[in-house]
Amino acid sequence: MLLFDHPEYDDHEQVCFHRDPGSGLTALLVIHRSVASRAGGGIRFYPYGSTAQALTDALRLSRAMTYKFALANFRMGGGKTVVIGDPAVDKTPALLHALGERVEGHAGRYICGPDVGTNSDDMVHIRERTRHVAGLPSGGGNTSAPTSQGVFNGLRAVIEHVFGHDDPSRLSFAVQGVGAVGGGLCDLLHEAGARLVIADVNQQAVSAVAERTGAVVVSPEEILSSDVDVLCPCALGGVLDHSTIPEIRAQAVCGGANNQLASTEDGERLLERGITFAPDYVVNAGGVIAGTVEIADLDSRELDRRLAGIYDTTRAVLERARRDARPTEAAAQAMAEEKLASSS
């Protein structure tokens, strides 16, 4: 298949394949769209089964980053780097240095940061080869907590839209994936008095969250069909598809995972079932907001204001989707494109 024929290709500005045999680096660096001559996006380090899978993920994630920045009111386009490999085995300073050299080769058009499989300490190694790095320990650092807070703010807008109130203590939530973001969301929901059902392939993480929140633990196979009010996918993407959507018993879906819809048609499927979906790039924008602290020179007050704004943006997306009788994903994309057009 030619790149131009790929179903996720959306006139992306640049798709680069990078190899460095010496360090073992195999990566794709993709820029969906640049705004003000720059694009930003994290580095995902993941053991993809094939280059084709990695390309699909990079194309989708970079596009979502464009919309995420637009709806968070940042003048920056979206990009993404995906590194093919197991970060627990393949990630070395030499590989990160090689990746930093590739980022530097884009001369500031692409700014990288941490994502799944990478962290702020990794950005220190990359910074030794390029200036175009965010999410350093001295800057945005660990973005999990602001991501969790942003999802929680979006959740409040969702439950107000669906249930007519924004009180989590009156509702139950199923959280799929209780790592840094999902676990943080569980803590916030527990503090708000919510009833929790959780699942994760990492039993140690599940046990820790259950102990401190009193959550009910179910298997990863059961979590999506749990009998709860709200489903919160916080693991990897593509979990909402033709086979899982018919099994969902929740009235709303709002979580921190990227690319939760396996395809555009799945947004239609949720709408047909009457399930309200909060687009992930709307509610999980807290990470990019915190991660661009160095770039945008945000102080703590402005950071808090922008995180709080996720509630308003989520509510606007849901209201527009209801007004236009269309999937929320389509409404969010339309809002993002309007913002991009007005900023160009």
Annotated catalytic residues are 80
CA distance 132 to 140: 14
CA distance 21 to 72: 38
Contact 281, 151 (CB under 8 A): no
CA distance 121 to 27: 19
CA distance 150 to 153: 5
Q: What angle do CA 133, 138, 144 make, to 5 degrees?
A: 80
Question: Could you tell me where the beta strands, DSSP code E, fall in the chain?
Answer: 14-20, 25-33, 39-46, 77-84, 110-114, 172-176, 195-199, 216-217, 230-233, 252-253, 276-277
What are φ and ψ of residue 112, in 5° steps?
Answer: -100, 170
CA distance 41 to 35: 13
Tell me the DSSP string of 30-88: EEEE-BTTBEEEEEEEE--SSHHHHHHHHHHHHHHHHHHHHHTT-S-EEEEEEEES-HH
Instruction: Please list, in sequence order, all residues whose beta carbon lies within 8 angstroms of the beta carbon of residue 258, skipping any fewer than 6 positions away.
Output: 61, 64, 236, 237, 280, 281, 284
Instruction: Please list, in sequence order, all residues whose beta carbon lies within 8 angstroms of the beta carbon of residue 173, skipping any fewer than 6 positions away.
Output: 155, 189, 194, 195, 196, 197, 228, 229, 230, 231, 232
User: Any idea which residue has 């943006």 for tokens?
Assistant: 313
Of the candidates 225, 203, 207, the residue with the CA atom closest to the CA atom of residue 216 = 207
Tokens of 89: 């085995």
Tokens of 196: 């929790």
